[in-house]
Structure 1
Amino acid sequence: MRVLISGASVAGPVLAFWLVRHGASVTVVEQAPSLRMGGQLVDLRGKASHEILKRAGLTEAVRAASEAAEGLSLVGRDGRRQATVRSSEFGGNGPVAEIEILRGNLSEVFYEQTREDVEYVFGDRIAGLDDREDGVHVTFERGPARVFDAVVGADGLHSGVRRLLFGDEKPLRHLDMYLSFWTAKNHLGLKGWTEVYSEPGRTVLMRAIRDNTAVMAAAAFVSPAFQYDYRDLGALKTVVRSRLAGMGWEADRLLAQMDDAGDFYFDSASQVLLPSWSKGRIGLVGDAGYCASPLSGHGTTMALVGAYVLAGELARADGDVAAGFRAYETRLRPWIEQIQRFAEGNGVSMAPKTGLGIFARRAALRLVELLPKVNLPRAGTGRLSDGFQLPDYERKTP
């Protein structure tokens, strides 16, 4: 089976890895000129994602590329820690996950495992799709037209494949929050640690990365939806500065470093809600099909699991690509929708809207400190993380 994947972030290379295991011939097209390194810190949660790494034989490689994740503290304006939680206290599925890794580093692990068997085409993108009887005819912005048996959009929240597939439908649900990330200096000397400071409706945090030589700075603010060009980085930095103006703690020092950060990111906390994830022999995986927003804490986990299940169901379908896409959606959608519902209310903990909300979050975290042996992982994120039973697809060879 000839499969074209659009996007080489996380879902794309993971899907390519498992499709090759099942005997497919895979091409990945990526608009960026090369693999995009760095990026925000992402989590791998739950038994399913850990089992996928184990079956892939990549557990040690991913752990070696991950960042130390010891815990998190809420701090006051003066920097004093007011409440603390360690990753072990939630079984690796709490505010700090057991495995936290820079998005680009995770992509690189799967890219390196597939680069000899997968055709990677950088600096190009899909311009047109035509699903005909003999296959999906694909035109590219730069390269020559080609025909594939299946096409998968793994190209994120602003998916071009989704737009070509479903037209001008508006599948995004805004969750009244915007998020930004960038790399900054670790001037506080944090070691495997995250510190979070909030004022009503806005939050800024620092997370030690790269062997504690730098931090991932992050900002979140509550806001109704507004129009912006997600590619105009200068304008977006102005937005972040204006929304965080006057904040206490280390906000000013972090904001001052945005212009020097080569990995600045800004976007809405939005979900992708579609009645179907595929049409014929064209489908979607990860954020392109069912983004739950970063507020879910499960975006990368969903991409990893989704890619694994899609590859397995396409293999089981034995050439009936449309049936494989339908089986993948039937198996995965109930779990995905649970995560999306959870994310809708999780913004309250990321950037509480009121002083009372900030106080309540701090009190809840202090409760964890006082009662460290209480089995909390089964509630909230822990139950969601372990809520999907991973199928065991029989390996197929060419």
Structure 2
Amino acid sequence: MASSTITPPAAEDGRPPALVSGASFAGLSTAYWLNRLGYRVTVIEAAKDLRRGGTPVDIEGETIEILTRMGLADAVRARALPPRGFEFKDADDRTMGAIGAGTDVTGHERYEIHRDDLLDILLGAVADTAEILFGRSIDRLADGPEEVSVTFDDGTEGRYALVFGCDGNRSNTRRLVFGDGDQFTYFMGGYVFLKVVPRTDLLPAHMSQVYSVPGRMAMLNGYDDRTDIGFGFRTKGQIAYDYRDRAQQRRLIHDQFDGLGWKVPAMLDSIDADDDFYFDRLNQIRMPSWSSGRVALVGDAGYCVSPLAGFGGSMAIIGAGRLAQALERHAGDHAAAFREYEDGLRPFVEEVQQRAATNGLSTMFPADAAELAERDRKIAAGEIDF
């Protein structure tokens, strides 16, 4: 297709144009704040629609504060799921220990909401104020002193004051700006599988249950109308597999979990119906910097904390909120704003990443018999804390 040039939005109404790559929690939240700050916002998403599905999102602490400032906290509360309990099980389905839900350990508000519901709330907050283009991605970008020139995958071009990569763990924006490969990927030593099935007979609603043996974990999340089936296993190194071969990925799970007890046989019976599931390595994104010139990363693209943290959605919303505060304080000076955003948020990100890589792994994925025995001792003593 012949290349064409999109007239910079600033030429139309004087607002500086900003591009957000990724219609995710990070992307939609960033778009919301950029519009509030006076930018003319375009959001592009490589998929044909919002990327739906996945496990519910925990909303607590600073995330509630930011959603309140966005005027969305009441909408989240209205769609919040009932409080959830968490049980550790043995092979005979006996409960070894349990953790309640509804508040965090200090008694503060805490909610769980279906991922799709939160996406819809965020989309509704920006649908009338940002241009959202699905099926579009960035092919090339050139960061200059006054603007970023972007060439899209369909050959069209645009010029933007700022560009934000909010496109997830495998971020295309990160690759284009900071380099290809796994240089920023910290492999945590395992793989995870998740599938949502329309069954309600595996466990009670509003309950999570986990069963662990050395190096392997099976987990269930129960709801009124569905169940999340999760598997995880540890490895010493990364394994070779074709990310497009869903049958191969299912075989990997069967190879790891066939023959285990508890509810694992029934779980395995439910994962072969179709290819609608998530399978990936367990990793974090650790970067020395989240910005370069006029381009900055938000959420998993810059600082994925891993599914074990249970905090990815909240971290994306927090990141967008912190970025907006910095841009407002340093109006017209994106370099100073990006420095403040990173300097302020990085200690919190690193704390969450470290907790996931240590306590999260040892609690959910005990590597060997000794680590499992210590985990079980903590459960019996009531010392487990998420």
- TM-score computed with the length of structure 2 as normaliser: 0.88
Structure 2 counterpart of 1:238, from 246, 251, 262: 251
* Pairing 1:29–2:41 present: no
Aligned positions, number: 367
Q: Which residue of 2 aligns with 1:138?
A: 150
Structure 1 counterpart of 2:205, from 178, 191, 198: 191
Q: Which residue of 2 aligns with 1:12?
A: 27
Query: Is the Cα contact below 8 Å between 2:102 and 2:111 reproduced in 1?
Result: no
CA-based RMSD: 2.2
Instruction: Map 1:248-263 to 2 at 5 A.
Output: 248-260=261-273, 263=276
- Identity over aligned residues, as a percent? 36
Q: Deviations over 1:77-110 (max 9, x none)?
A: 222222111115743899xx93222333222210
Q: Which residue of 2 aligns with 1:103?
A: 115
> Secondary structure at the residue paired with 1:344?
helix
Q: Which residue of 2 aligns with 1:371?
A: none
Q: Which residue of 2 aligns with 1:43?
A: 58
Q: Which residue of 1 aligns with 2:219?
A: 205
Cα 1:138/1:105, change in 2 over 3 Å: same
Q: Which residue of 1 aligns with 2:379?
A: 365
Q: Which residue of 2 aligns with 1:164?
A: 176
Q: Which residue of 2 aligns with 1:287?
A: 300
Q: Which residue of 2 aligns with 1:387?
A: none
Counterpart AA for 2:206: G
Cα 1:119/1:88, change in 2 over 3 Å: closer
> Secondary structure at the residue paired with 2:163?
strand
Aligned partners of 1:78, 1:205: CA distance in 2, in Å?
A: 15
* Pairing 1:77–2:91 present: yes
In the alignment, structure 1 segments of 5+ residues that lack a partner are 369-375, 382-398
Cα 1:380/1:323, change in 2 over 3 Å: farther
Cα 1:124/1:246, change in 2 over 3 Å: same
How many Å apart are 1:24 and its aligned residue? 1.6
Cα 1:229/1:325, change in 2 over 3 Å: farther
How many Å apart are 1:155 and its aligned residue? 0.8
Q: Which residue of 1 aligns with 2:326?
A: 313
Aligned partners of 1:222, 1:251: CA distance in 2, in Å?
A: 17
* Pairing 1:61–2:75 present: yes
Detail structure 1 runs of 4+ shifted over 4 Å in the superposition: none
* Pairing 1:217–2:268 present: no
Query: Is the Cα contact below 8 Å between 2:246 and 2:275 reproduced in 1?
Result: no
Cα 1:133/1:152, change in 2 over 3 Å: same
Counterpart AA for 2:30: L
> Secondary structure at the residue paired with 2:209?
strand
Aligned partners of 1:106, 1:89: CA distance in 2, in Å?
A: 19
Cα 1:48/1:244, change in 2 over 3 Å: same
* Pairing 1:352–2:371 present: no
Q: Deviations over 1:201-260 (max 9, x none)?
A: 111111113xx1111111111112123343433322222222222221121222222233
Query: Is the Cα contact below 8 Å between 1:149 and 1:321 reproduced in 2?
Result: no
How many Å apart are 1:356 and its aligned residue? 4.1
Q: Deviations over 1:2-35 (max 9, x none)?
A: 1111111211111111222222211111111011
In the alignment, structure 2 segments of 5+ residues that lack a partner are 1-15
Counterpart AA for 2:350: E
Counterpart AA for 1:254: M
Counterpart AA for 1:295: L
- TM-score computed with the length of structure 1 as normaliser: 0.86
Cα 1:325/1:145, change in 2 over 3 Å: same
Cα 1:89/1:122, change in 2 over 3 Å: closer
